[in-house]
Structure 1
Amino acid sequence: MNIREMDSKELYMYYASIMKELEHFDTPTVTNALATYPADTENCLGLYEPHKTAWYTDERMRCLYPELGPRCGFAVTCVYGVPGMQFSRLSFGDILEAIEESPKPVILAMKFDAPEEYRRKNAMIGDNMLTCFKQLGVTGVVGDGPARDYRGMQPLNVQCMFTGLTAGHGFMPIEAVNIPVSLCSMDLAPGEVIHMDENGAVKFSAKYLPDVLERCKRISENDAKRQAQIRTCVNAEETANAMKGIYK
Protein backbone atom coordinates (compact mmCIF):
# COMPACT_ATOMS: atom_id res chain seq x y z
CA MET A 1 0.00 0.00 0.00
CA ASN A 2 1.17 3.52 -0.82
CA ILE A 3 2.04 5.52 2.28
CA ARG A 4 -0.42 8.21 1.23
CA GLU A 5 -3.25 5.67 1.24
CA MET A 6 -2.66 4.62 4.86
CA ASP A 7 -4.84 5.83 7.68
CA SER A 8 -3.12 7.18 10.78
CA LYS A 9 -3.11 3.83 12.59
CA GLU A 10 -1.61 2.01 9.61
CA LEU A 11 0.95 4.77 9.12
CA TYR A 12 2.15 4.67 12.72
CA MET A 13 2.36 0.87 12.62
CA TYR A 14 4.46 1.17 9.47
CA TYR A 15 6.70 3.75 11.09
CA ALA A 16 7.04 1.59 14.21
CA SER A 17 8.22 -1.35 12.09
CA ILE A 18 10.91 0.84 10.52
CA MET A 19 11.98 2.09 13.95
CA LYS A 20 12.47 -1.50 15.06
CA GLU A 21 14.73 -2.11 12.05
CA LEU A 22 16.66 1.08 12.77
CA GLU A 23 17.52 -0.30 16.21
CA HIS A 24 19.89 -2.66 14.38
CA PHE A 25 22.03 0.37 13.46
CA ASP A 26 24.01 2.62 15.77
CA THR A 27 23.23 6.31 16.12
CA PRO A 28 26.37 7.48 14.27
CA THR A 29 25.16 5.57 11.21
CA VAL A 30 21.80 7.34 11.50
CA THR A 31 23.52 10.74 11.73
CA ASN A 32 25.51 9.85 8.61
CA ALA A 33 22.29 9.08 6.78
CA LEU A 34 20.75 12.36 7.91
CA ALA A 35 23.41 15.02 7.52
CA THR A 36 27.06 14.21 8.30
CA TYR A 37 28.33 14.12 4.71
CA PRO A 38 26.08 16.40 2.63
CA ALA A 39 28.32 16.05 -0.43
CA ASP A 40 27.32 12.36 -0.57
CA THR A 41 23.95 12.88 -2.24
CA GLU A 42 23.34 9.14 -2.63
CA ASN A 43 23.69 8.12 1.02
CA CYS A 44 23.15 11.36 2.97
CA LEU A 45 19.78 13.11 3.03
CA GLY A 46 21.39 16.46 3.84
CA LEU A 47 18.58 17.48 6.18
CA TYR A 48 20.76 19.81 8.29
CA GLU A 49 23.88 21.88 8.03
CA PRO A 50 25.89 19.35 10.05
CA HIS A 51 28.11 21.61 12.18
CA LYS A 52 25.86 24.38 13.47
CA THR A 53 22.34 22.96 13.44
CA ALA A 54 21.10 21.57 16.79
CA TRP A 55 20.12 18.11 15.56
CA TYR A 56 21.98 15.77 17.92
CA THR A 57 23.23 15.75 21.52
CA ASP A 58 26.67 16.82 22.68
CA GLU A 59 29.24 15.23 25.00
CA ARG A 60 27.33 16.10 28.18
CA MET A 61 24.83 13.31 27.56
CA ARG A 62 25.68 9.93 29.10
CA CYS A 63 24.12 6.59 28.20
CA LEU A 64 23.41 4.67 31.41
CA TYR A 65 22.88 1.23 29.88
CA PRO A 66 25.02 0.74 26.74
CA GLU A 67 24.36 -3.00 26.88
CA LEU A 68 20.69 -2.39 25.95
CA GLY A 69 21.65 -1.14 22.51
CA PRO A 70 19.95 1.48 20.31
CA ARG A 71 16.37 2.63 20.74
CA CYS A 72 14.12 4.54 18.36
CA GLY A 73 10.74 6.15 19.02
CA PHE A 74 8.42 9.13 18.85
CA ALA A 75 9.30 12.06 21.11
CA VAL A 76 7.10 13.10 23.99
CA THR A 77 8.53 16.09 25.86
CA CYS A 78 8.17 17.59 29.32
CA VAL A 79 9.80 20.42 31.26
CA TYR A 80 10.61 20.33 34.96
CA GLY A 81 10.97 23.57 36.93
CA VAL A 82 12.06 24.54 40.43
CA PRO A 83 10.06 24.96 43.66
CA GLY A 84 8.49 28.35 44.21
CA MET A 85 7.32 29.10 40.70
CA GLN A 86 3.82 30.55 40.50
CA PHE A 87 2.36 27.78 38.36
CA SER A 88 0.76 24.55 39.52
CA ARG A 89 -1.74 23.53 36.85
CA LEU A 90 0.30 20.58 35.53
CA SER A 91 1.25 17.37 37.29
CA PHE A 92 3.06 14.08 36.72
CA GLY A 93 -0.25 12.71 35.46
CA ASP A 94 -0.16 15.10 32.50
CA ILE A 95 3.13 13.55 31.39
CA LEU A 96 1.61 10.09 31.65
CA GLU A 97 -1.42 11.16 29.59
CA ALA A 98 0.85 12.56 26.86
CA ILE A 99 2.73 9.27 26.71
CA GLU A 100 -0.52 7.30 26.56
CA GLU A 101 -1.86 9.45 23.72
CA SER A 102 1.33 9.33 21.65
CA PRO A 103 1.97 6.77 18.92
CA LYS A 104 4.33 4.04 20.08
CA PRO A 105 7.12 3.43 20.79
CA VAL A 106 7.87 6.56 22.83
CA ILE A 107 11.15 8.23 23.72
CA LEU A 108 10.48 10.61 26.60
CA ALA A 109 12.57 13.81 26.45
CA MET A 110 12.87 15.58 29.81
CA LYS A 111 14.02 19.20 30.04
CA PHE A 112 15.22 20.64 33.38
CA ASP A 113 14.57 24.40 33.48
CA ALA A 114 16.65 25.24 36.55
CA PRO A 115 19.84 27.04 37.62
CA GLU A 116 22.94 24.93 37.15
CA GLU A 117 23.57 24.37 40.87
CA TYR A 118 20.04 22.96 41.23
CA ARG A 119 19.99 21.06 37.96
CA ARG A 120 23.32 19.31 38.53
CA LYS A 121 22.31 17.95 41.95
CA ASN A 122 18.63 16.98 41.64
CA ALA A 123 17.82 13.70 39.94
CA MET A 124 15.15 13.97 37.24
CA ILE A 125 14.12 10.31 37.31
CA GLY A 126 14.28 7.14 39.40
CA ASP A 127 12.99 3.60 39.29
CA ASN A 128 9.40 4.43 40.34
CA MET A 129 8.97 7.01 37.59
CA LEU A 130 10.62 4.84 34.98
CA THR A 131 8.33 1.94 35.87
CA CYS A 132 5.34 4.20 35.18
CA PHE A 133 6.80 5.33 31.86
CA LYS A 134 7.59 1.82 30.68
CA GLN A 135 4.08 0.65 31.55
CA LEU A 136 2.67 3.18 29.07
CA GLY A 137 5.01 2.40 26.16
CA VAL A 138 8.26 4.29 26.77
CA THR A 139 11.30 2.50 25.35
CA GLY A 140 13.88 5.22 26.08
CA VAL A 141 14.29 8.37 28.16
CA VAL A 142 16.68 11.27 27.58
CA GLY A 143 17.12 14.24 29.92
CA ASP A 144 19.50 17.15 30.44
CA GLY A 145 19.94 16.57 34.18
CA PRO A 146 21.05 13.62 36.34
CA ALA A 147 19.23 10.39 37.19
CA ARG A 148 19.30 8.11 40.21
CA ASP A 149 18.36 4.52 41.15
CA TYR A 150 20.80 3.11 38.61
CA ARG A 151 20.39 -0.49 39.79
CA GLY A 152 16.64 -0.15 40.23
CA MET A 153 16.10 1.10 36.69
CA GLN A 154 18.45 -1.36 34.98
CA PRO A 155 16.08 -4.40 34.91
CA LEU A 156 13.32 -2.34 33.28
CA ASN A 157 15.06 -2.61 29.88
CA VAL A 158 14.45 1.06 29.06
CA GLN A 159 17.40 2.91 27.55
CA CYS A 160 18.33 6.00 29.57
CA MET A 161 20.49 8.99 28.69
CA PHE A 162 21.18 11.68 31.28
CA THR A 163 24.07 13.95 32.22
CA GLY A 164 25.12 11.76 35.14
CA LEU A 165 23.98 10.21 38.39
CA THR A 166 23.17 11.65 41.79
CA ALA A 167 21.70 10.30 45.03
CA GLY A 168 18.71 12.54 45.67
CA HIS A 169 16.30 15.25 44.58
CA GLY A 170 13.73 17.67 45.89
CA PHE A 171 10.28 18.62 44.61
CA MET A 172 10.30 19.50 40.91
CA PRO A 173 7.08 20.99 39.51
CA ILE A 174 6.01 20.49 35.90
CA GLU A 175 6.27 23.60 33.70
CA ALA A 176 5.08 22.20 30.38
CA VAL A 177 4.23 19.03 28.48
CA ASN A 178 4.76 18.41 24.75
CA ILE A 179 6.42 21.66 23.78
CA PRO A 180 9.67 22.12 21.81
CA VAL A 181 12.74 21.66 24.02
CA SER A 182 16.52 21.82 23.71
CA LEU A 183 18.53 19.03 25.35
CA CYS A 184 22.33 19.21 25.35
CA SER A 185 22.52 20.86 21.89
CA MET A 186 19.60 18.93 20.35
CA ASP A 187 16.47 20.97 19.52
CA LEU A 188 13.44 18.72 19.57
CA ALA A 189 9.72 18.98 18.87
CA PRO A 190 7.01 16.58 20.10
CA GLY A 191 6.33 13.82 17.60
CA GLU A 192 9.77 13.90 16.00
CA VAL A 193 11.74 10.66 15.88
CA ILE A 194 14.63 10.11 18.29
CA HIS A 195 17.32 7.49 17.72
CA MET A 196 19.63 6.94 20.70
CA ASP A 197 22.48 4.70 21.83
CA GLU A 198 25.72 4.96 23.81
CA ASN A 199 27.03 7.60 21.38
CA GLY A 200 24.16 10.04 21.92
CA ALA A 201 20.77 10.92 20.47
CA VAL A 202 19.65 12.38 17.14
CA LYS A 203 16.27 13.66 15.94
CA PHE A 204 14.45 13.88 12.60
CA SER A 205 10.95 14.03 11.14
CA ALA A 206 9.03 10.73 10.95
CA LYS A 207 8.36 11.19 7.24
CA TYR A 208 12.03 10.44 6.57
CA LEU A 209 12.00 7.05 8.30
CA PRO A 210 11.93 4.94 5.09
CA ASP A 211 14.72 7.01 3.52
CA VAL A 212 16.85 6.86 6.68
CA LEU A 213 16.53 3.07 6.89
CA GLU A 214 17.44 2.64 3.21
CA ARG A 215 20.54 4.79 3.63
CA CYS A 216 21.60 3.16 6.89
CA LYS A 217 21.63 -0.20 5.12
CA ARG A 218 23.81 1.15 2.30
CA ILE A 219 26.13 3.02 4.65
CA SER A 220 26.69 -0.08 6.80
CA GLU A 221 27.43 -2.21 3.74
CA ASN A 222 29.82 0.39 2.37
CA ASP A 223 31.60 0.77 5.72
CA ALA A 224 32.06 -3.00 6.01
CA LYS A 225 33.55 -3.19 2.51
CA ARG A 226 35.79 -0.17 3.12
CA GLN A 227 37.13 -1.48 6.39
CA ALA A 228 37.80 -4.89 4.82
CA GLN A 229 39.75 -3.10 2.08
CA ILE A 230 41.70 -1.04 4.63
CA ARG A 231 42.78 -4.21 6.42
CA THR A 232 44.51 -5.31 3.20
CA CYS A 233 46.43 -2.05 2.76
CA VAL A 234 50.22 -2.19 3.17
CA ASN A 235 51.18 1.50 3.04
CA ALA A 236 49.89 5.03 3.57
CA GLU A 237 49.00 5.61 -0.09
CA GLU A 238 46.79 2.54 -0.29
CA THR A 239 45.13 3.41 3.00
CA ALA A 240 44.45 6.99 1.89
CA ASN A 241 42.95 5.74 -1.38
CA ALA A 242 40.63 3.42 0.53
CA MET A 243 39.33 6.43 2.46
CA LYS A 244 38.58 8.58 -0.58
CA GLY A 245 35.05 9.84 -0.57
CA ILE A 246 35.15 10.33 3.21
CA TYR A 247 38.48 12.14 3.72
CA LYS A 248 40.59 13.81 1.09
Structure 2
Amino acid sequence: MTPDELVEALRRVDSATLANAVEQLELRDATKGYADLRLRCLIPQPVPMVGFAVTVVIDSTTPGRQGDTRLYPDLIAAVERSPKPCVVVCQESGPDPARGCHIGDVVGSRLARHEAVGVVSGSGIRDLAGLRPLGMWAFALGTVVAHGTWTITAVDIEVEVAGLRVRPGDLLHGNEDGLLRVPQERPGELLRLVGAVREREARSRLAGTAAYDVQH
Protein backbone atom coordinates (compact mmCIF):
# COMPACT_ATOMS: atom_id res chain seq x y z
CA MET A 1 0.00 0.00 0.00
CA THR A 2 1.38 3.40 -0.95
CA PRO A 3 1.31 6.40 1.41
CA ASP A 4 -1.19 8.09 -0.91
CA GLU A 5 -3.52 5.07 -0.72
CA LEU A 6 -3.27 5.03 3.07
CA VAL A 7 -4.04 8.74 3.32
CA GLU A 8 -7.06 8.37 1.05
CA ALA A 9 -8.38 5.42 3.06
CA LEU A 10 -7.92 7.26 6.37
CA ARG A 11 -9.94 10.23 5.11
CA ARG A 12 -12.96 7.93 5.32
CA VAL A 13 -12.37 7.01 8.98
CA ASP A 14 -13.30 9.04 12.04
CA SER A 15 -10.52 9.62 14.57
CA ALA A 16 -12.09 7.69 17.47
CA THR A 17 -12.59 4.56 15.34
CA LEU A 18 -9.02 4.86 14.11
CA ALA A 19 -7.74 5.24 17.68
CA ASN A 20 -9.48 1.99 18.63
CA ALA A 21 -7.89 0.22 15.67
CA VAL A 22 -4.42 1.62 16.48
CA GLU A 23 -4.69 0.27 20.04
CA GLN A 24 -5.18 -3.23 18.65
CA LEU A 25 -1.90 -3.04 16.72
CA GLU A 26 -0.21 -2.97 20.16
CA LEU A 27 2.66 -0.88 18.86
CA ARG A 28 2.49 1.55 21.79
CA ASP A 29 0.87 1.96 25.17
CA ALA A 30 -2.84 2.73 24.95
CA THR A 31 -2.30 5.99 26.86
CA LYS A 32 0.17 7.36 24.30
CA GLY A 33 0.02 8.73 20.78
CA TYR A 34 -2.78 11.27 21.02
CA ALA A 35 -3.15 14.88 22.14
CA ASP A 36 -4.70 15.64 25.49
CA LEU A 37 -7.89 17.58 26.11
CA ARG A 38 -6.17 20.96 26.09
CA LEU A 39 -6.05 20.80 22.29
CA ARG A 40 -9.24 22.13 20.73
CA CYS A 41 -10.50 21.85 17.19
CA LEU A 42 -11.16 25.49 16.31
CA ILE A 43 -11.83 25.09 12.58
CA PRO A 44 -13.29 21.74 11.42
CA GLN A 45 -13.69 20.59 7.84
CA PRO A 46 -16.08 18.04 6.28
CA VAL A 47 -13.39 15.35 5.83
CA PRO A 48 -11.01 14.25 8.63
CA MET A 49 -7.57 15.85 8.62
CA VAL A 50 -4.90 13.43 7.43
CA GLY A 51 -1.37 14.63 6.70
CA PHE A 52 2.34 14.29 7.28
CA ALA A 53 3.83 16.50 9.99
CA VAL A 54 6.03 19.51 9.31
CA THR A 55 7.25 20.76 12.67
CA VAL A 56 8.26 24.23 13.81
CA VAL A 57 9.24 25.82 17.12
CA ILE A 58 8.14 29.42 17.67
CA ASP A 59 8.91 31.89 20.46
CA SER A 60 6.12 34.42 20.63
CA THR A 61 6.14 35.18 24.36
CA THR A 62 9.65 36.24 25.46
CA PRO A 63 9.32 39.79 26.86
CA GLY A 64 11.59 42.38 25.29
CA ARG A 65 12.46 40.22 22.31
CA GLN A 66 12.13 41.57 18.78
CA GLY A 67 10.21 39.38 16.35
CA ASP A 68 12.51 37.67 13.86
CA THR A 69 11.30 36.08 10.61
CA ARG A 70 14.68 34.95 9.25
CA LEU A 71 13.75 31.26 9.53
CA TYR A 72 10.34 31.72 7.92
CA PRO A 73 11.72 30.67 4.51
CA ASP A 74 13.01 27.47 6.17
CA LEU A 75 9.47 26.66 7.29
CA ILE A 76 8.08 27.23 3.81
CA ALA A 77 10.86 25.10 2.31
CA ALA A 78 10.05 22.29 4.77
CA VAL A 79 6.39 22.46 3.74
CA GLU A 80 7.34 22.42 0.07
CA ARG A 81 9.50 19.28 0.38
CA SER A 82 7.20 17.43 2.75
CA PRO A 83 5.11 14.52 1.52
CA LYS A 84 1.63 15.75 0.75
CA PRO A 85 -0.79 16.43 2.22
CA CYS A 86 0.99 17.96 5.20
CA VAL A 87 0.07 19.37 8.60
CA VAL A 88 2.12 22.13 10.24
CA VAL A 89 2.66 21.48 13.95
CA CYS A 90 3.85 24.37 16.13
CA GLN A 91 5.43 24.26 19.59
CA GLU A 92 5.82 27.40 21.70
CA SER A 93 9.31 27.80 23.18
CA GLY A 94 8.66 31.06 24.98
CA PRO A 95 7.90 31.32 28.70
CA ASP A 96 4.13 31.84 28.46
CA PRO A 97 2.40 29.41 26.05
CA ALA A 98 -1.02 30.59 27.23
CA ARG A 99 -0.27 33.94 25.55
CA GLY A 100 1.43 32.56 22.43
CA CYS A 101 0.17 32.97 18.88
CA HIS A 102 1.53 30.86 16.03
CA ILE A 103 -0.69 31.18 12.96
CA GLY A 104 -2.95 33.84 11.49
CA ASP A 105 -4.57 34.23 8.10
CA VAL A 106 -1.42 35.60 6.39
CA VAL A 107 0.83 32.67 7.32
CA GLY A 108 -2.11 30.28 6.96
CA SER A 109 -2.74 31.42 3.38
CA ARG A 110 0.88 30.75 2.46
CA LEU A 111 0.77 27.27 4.01
CA ALA A 112 -2.50 26.44 2.26
CA ARG A 113 -0.98 27.34 -1.10
CA HIS A 114 1.66 24.68 -0.44
CA GLU A 115 -0.93 21.95 0.26
CA ALA A 116 -1.02 22.12 4.03
CA VAL A 117 -4.38 20.69 5.10
CA GLY A 118 -4.13 21.69 8.73
CA VAL A 119 -2.29 23.61 11.42
CA VAL A 120 -1.79 22.40 14.99
CA SER A 121 -0.60 24.78 17.70
CA GLY A 122 0.39 23.93 21.23
CA SER A 123 -0.42 27.55 21.99
CA GLY A 124 -2.79 29.96 20.22
CA ILE A 125 -3.88 31.06 16.76
CA ARG A 126 -5.80 34.09 15.51
CA ASP A 127 -7.73 35.43 12.49
CA LEU A 128 -10.26 32.58 12.48
CA ALA A 129 -12.48 34.47 10.04
CA GLY A 130 -9.59 34.64 7.58
CA LEU A 131 -8.48 31.05 8.15
CA ARG A 132 -11.89 29.41 7.64
CA PRO A 133 -12.12 30.03 3.87
CA LEU A 134 -8.72 28.36 3.33
CA GLY A 135 -10.23 24.91 3.85
CA MET A 136 -7.68 23.89 6.48
CA TRP A 137 -8.30 22.26 9.82
CA ALA A 138 -7.04 24.30 12.78
CA PHE A 139 -6.23 22.92 16.22
CA ALA A 140 -4.90 25.01 19.12
CA LEU A 141 -5.34 25.62 22.82
CA GLY A 142 -7.40 28.67 21.97
CA THR A 143 -7.27 32.06 20.27
CA VAL A 144 -5.04 35.01 21.04
CA VAL A 145 -5.47 38.45 19.48
CA ALA A 146 -1.79 39.55 19.18
CA HIS A 147 1.20 37.81 17.59
CA GLY A 148 3.64 38.77 20.33
CA THR A 149 7.36 38.39 19.52
CA TRP A 150 6.82 35.88 16.69
CA THR A 151 10.18 34.22 16.04
CA ILE A 152 10.83 30.83 14.47
CA THR A 153 13.65 29.18 16.43
CA ALA A 154 13.75 25.71 14.80
CA VAL A 155 12.21 23.78 11.92
CA ASP A 156 11.91 20.03 11.33
CA ILE A 157 12.70 18.80 14.83
CA GLU A 158 10.68 16.73 17.30
CA VAL A 159 8.09 18.86 19.09
CA GLU A 160 5.44 18.37 21.75
CA VAL A 161 1.90 19.70 21.48
CA ALA A 162 -0.71 19.07 24.18
CA GLY A 163 1.15 16.01 25.43
CA LEU A 164 1.70 14.53 21.95
CA ARG A 165 5.25 14.08 20.68
CA VAL A 166 5.44 14.70 16.93
CA ARG A 167 8.40 14.13 14.63
CA PRO A 168 8.78 15.43 11.08
CA GLY A 169 7.01 13.04 8.72
CA ASP A 170 4.69 11.54 11.34
CA LEU A 171 1.24 10.79 9.95
CA LEU A 172 -1.47 12.67 11.84
CA HIS A 173 -5.22 12.19 11.88
CA GLY A 174 -7.68 14.56 13.48
CA ASN A 175 -11.30 15.62 13.73
CA GLU A 176 -13.51 17.30 16.32
CA ASP A 177 -12.63 14.55 18.83
CA GLY A 178 -8.91 15.34 18.81
CA LEU A 179 -5.56 14.52 17.21
CA LEU A 180 -3.90 11.12 16.78
CA ARG A 181 -0.47 10.00 15.57
CA VAL A 182 -0.96 7.09 13.15
CA PRO A 183 1.60 4.24 13.00
CA GLN A 184 2.78 3.69 9.45
CA GLU A 185 4.43 0.28 9.92
CA ARG A 186 1.49 -2.01 9.09
CA PRO A 187 -1.05 -0.04 7.03
CA GLY A 188 -2.91 -3.02 5.60
CA GLU A 189 -3.44 -4.54 9.03
CA LEU A 190 -4.49 -1.18 10.44
CA LEU A 191 -7.22 -0.79 7.82
CA ARG A 192 -8.43 -4.34 8.44
CA LEU A 193 -8.70 -3.50 12.14
CA VAL A 194 -10.67 -0.34 11.29
CA GLY A 195 -13.19 -2.55 9.50
CA ALA A 196 -13.35 -4.94 12.44
CA VAL A 197 -13.92 -2.09 14.91
CA ARG A 198 -16.76 -0.75 12.78
CA GLU A 199 -18.43 -4.15 12.51
CA ARG A 200 -18.17 -4.86 16.22
CA GLU A 201 -19.52 -1.47 17.22
CA ALA A 202 -22.37 -1.73 14.72
CA ARG A 203 -23.38 -5.11 16.21
CA SER A 204 -23.22 -3.67 19.73
CA ARG A 205 -25.46 -0.76 18.82
CA LEU A 206 -27.99 -3.02 17.11
CA ALA A 207 -28.02 -5.45 20.02
CA GLY A 208 -28.73 -2.62 22.44
CA THR A 209 -26.58 -4.36 25.03
CA ALA A 210 -26.32 -2.79 28.44
CA ALA A 211 -22.82 -4.17 28.90
CA TYR A 212 -20.04 -1.61 28.84
CA ASP A 213 -17.95 -1.92 25.68
CA VAL A 214 -14.34 -0.97 26.37
CA GLN A 215 -14.05 0.16 22.76
CA HIS A 216 -16.83 2.77 23.31
**Alpha carbons of structure 1 residues 157 and 245: separation in structure 2 relative to 1, 3 Å:** closer
1:100 is matched with: 80
**Gap regions ≥5 residues in structure 2:** none
Measure how far apart 1:205 and its partner are: 3.4
1:70 is matched with: 48
Q: Which amino acid aligns with 1:192?
A: D
Bigger radius of gyration:
1
Measure how far apart 1:207 and its partner are: 2.8
**DSSP-derived class of the 1:206 partner:** coil
Report if aligned partners of 1:90, 1:176 keep a CA contact under 8 Å in 2: no
**Alpha carbons of structure 1 residues 246 and 178: separation in structure 2 relative to 1, 3 Å:** closer
Question: Percent identical across equivalent pairs?
Answer: 28
**Where does 1:160-239 land on structure 2 (aligned, <5 Å)?**
160-230=138-208, 239=210
After TM superposition, what 4+ stretches of structure 1 lie above 6 angstroms from structure 2? Answer: none
**Alpha carbons of structure 1 residues 90 and 221: separation in structure 2 relative to 1, 3 Å:** farther
Select the structure that is richer in helix.
Answer: 1
**DSSP-derived class of the 1:170 partner:** coil
Report if aligned partners of 2:92, 2:100 keep a CA contact under 8 Å in 1: no
Q: Which amino acid aligns with 2:210?
A: T
Report if aligned partners of 1:34, 1:212 keep a CA contact under 8 Å in 2: yes
**Post-superposition CA distance 1:14-37 (Å, at most 9, x none):** 2122212212211111111112xx
Report if aligned partners of 1:71, 1:197 keep a CA contact under 8 Å in 2: yes
**Gap regions ≥5 residues in structure 1:** 4-13, 36-43, 231-237
Q: Which amino acid aligns with 1:31?
A: A
TM-score (norm 2): 0.90
Measure how far apart 1:61 and its partner are: 0.5
**Post-superposition CA distance 1:172-193 (Å, at most 9, x none):** 1111111111110101111111
Measure how far apart 1:222 and its partner are: 1.8
Query: Partners in 1 of 2:28 and 2:192 — Cα distance?
Result: 18
Report if aligned partners of 2:51, 2:117 keep a CA contact under 8 Å in 1: yes
Measure how far apart 1:168 and its partner are: 1.4
Report if aligned partners of 2:35, 2:179 keep a CA contact under 8 Å in 1: yes
Measure how far apart 1:141 and its partner are: 1.1
Q: Which amino acid aligns with 2:181?
A: K
Report if aligned partners of 2:121, 2:141 keep a CA contact under 8 Å in 1: yes
**DSSP-derived class of the 1:179 partner:** coil
Measure how far apart 1:89 and its partner are: 9.2
**DSSP-derived class of the 2:180 partner:** strand
**Where does 1:88-127 land on structure 2 (aligned, <5 Å)?**
90-116=70-96, 119-127=97-105
Report if aligned partners of 2:53, 2:172 keep a CA contact under 8 Å in 1: yes
**Alpha carbons of structure 1 residues 100 and 244: separation in structure 2 relative to 1, 3 Å:** closer
1:25 is matched with: 13
Report if aligned partners of 2:22, 2:183 keep a CA contact under 8 Å in 1: no
RMSD: 2.3
